[in-house]
Amino acid sequence: MSGARLAILTGAAGHIGRATVEKFAATGWSLVITDVSAAVDEIASTAAGKHGTTVIGVQADIAAEEGVMEVTAAAEGTGVPVTFLGLIAGINHEAAPVDQIDMNVWDRVLSINLRANVLMMKHCVPLLRKSGGGAIATTSSWWGRAAHPYFSAYCASKAGVIALTQSAAGELAPHIRVNSVAPGNVGTPMHYDALEVEARERRIPVAEMQEIEWAKIPLGRPAEPAEIAAAFHFLASPESSYLTGAVLDVNGGCGFY
């Protein structure tokens, strides 16, 4: 691909985010990366130094419109055409039966996982249009394809992401493609925390909970974050130029749809 091009990536300080920053920086993309965590600045400067490409970190809360606008301002400030938006930021929550849900938790999960995505699309689509088009990739989950007990907010938000992806794909075609990556189990703290929490709820040892969950994975293991990053990279590349409204299920075979 000739010419400078810029990608905006959210959730950049998480494990999938970091791996995606690394993959994009290593393949010549300029980047504006954002996260609530202050670590995003160090991640940006490390990637810029290592790969010799522009990487700007913006610590911001994209649940709020002001935070989103800080990110888009940073992107516009570079003068490099924005051609990709990677919406990776997402949170999980404590296991809770539906009759005991803390509605503040529900609101927060839906806000970050779903609402912030549409807020980012709202503000970034004009940038993509200005560049003559591009692509957007969201992060769903195998738990958005088929839901699990005790995690209704997470599952509902991730199912919502797929619907949002497809609505946007239909609207923004033909110049902006919108697709989703639906990871399965990824070997990150979020995964291991969820195992612990569910183990506690079921009153069984964590090791047994892990065995139960990993036995459901034909490939027998969770993904490396880099394997999820590879899917985002594919969706940002010309190799995927005829895909829109599609969901890439990168899940080791734990679910088929």
Partner 1 sequence: MSSENLGGVIITGSARGIGRAIADHLAQTGYGIVIADLDESAGTRAAAEIQKAGGNALFRHVNVADRKSVAAAVMACEEAFGFIHAIVNNAGFNRPQHFLETTEDNWNKIMTINGLGVLIGMQEAAKAMIAAGHKGKIVNTASIASRSGDAEWVPYCASKAAVVSMTQAGAKALAQHGINVNAFAPGVVQTDLWTQLDKDLMDMGISSRPGEAMQNFSQNIPLGRTSTPQDVVGTVAFLISPASNYMTGQCLMIDGGMIMQ
Could you give the residue numbers annotated as active site? 154
Judged by CB under 8 A, the stretch of 72-80, 147-155, 194-202, 230-238 that binds partner 1 is 230-238
Give the residue from 124, 143, 142 showing the smallest Cα distance to 134. 124
Alpha-carbon distance of 89 to 192, in angstroms, equals 18
Neighbour count for residue 3 (Cβ, 10 Å): 7
H or E stretch at 24: helix 15-26
Give the residue from 82, 90, 165 showing the smallest Cα distance to 127. 82
Q: Minimal distance in Å, beta carbon 131 to partner 1?
A: 18
Looking at residues 174 to 203 of the shown chain, list those that interact with partner 1 (rule: CB under 8 A): 174, 177, 184
- Binds partner 1 (CB under 8 A): choice among 129, 206, 210, 245: 245
- Say whether 223 sits in a helix, a strand or coil: strand
Comparing CB distances to partner 1, the nearer of 85 and 162 is 162
Does 132 sit near partner 1 (CB under 8 A)?
A: no
- Binds partner 1 (CB under 8 A): choice among 114, 209, 223, 236: 223
Does 230 sit near partner 1 (CB under 8 A)?
A: yes
Comparing CB distances to partner 1, the nearer of 52 and 218 is 218
Does 140 sit near partner 1 (CB under 8 A)?
A: no
Alpha-carbon distance of 226 to 53, in angstroms, equals 19
Torsion of Cα atoms, 199 then 37 then 20 then 107, to 10°: 60
- Binds partner 1 (CB under 8 A): choice among 37, 166, 210, 213: 166
- Using alpha carbons only, give the angle 163, 250, 115 rounded to the nearest 5 degrees: 30
Q: Minimal distance in Å, beta carbon 83 to partner 1?
A: 16
Task: Judge whether 226 and 220 are in contact, CB under 8 Å.
Answer: no
- Binds partner 1 (CB under 8 A): choice among 9, 169, 197, 199: 169
| DSSP-derived secondary structure for 58-115 | EE--TTSHHHHHHHHHHHHHH-SPEEEEEE----------GGG--HHHHHHHHIIIII
DSSP state of 227: H
Q: What mask, x for binding partner 1 by CB under 8 A, covers residues 68 to 97?
A: ------------------------------
- Binds partner 1 (CB under 8 A): choice among 10, 83, 117, 240: 240
- Binds partner 1 (CB under 8 A): choice among 126, 170, 189, 205: 170
Query: Which residues of this chain interact with partner 1, rule CB under 8 A?
Result: 166, 169-170, 173-174, 177, 184, 218-220, 223-224, 227-228, 230-231, 233-234, 237-246, 248-253, 256-257
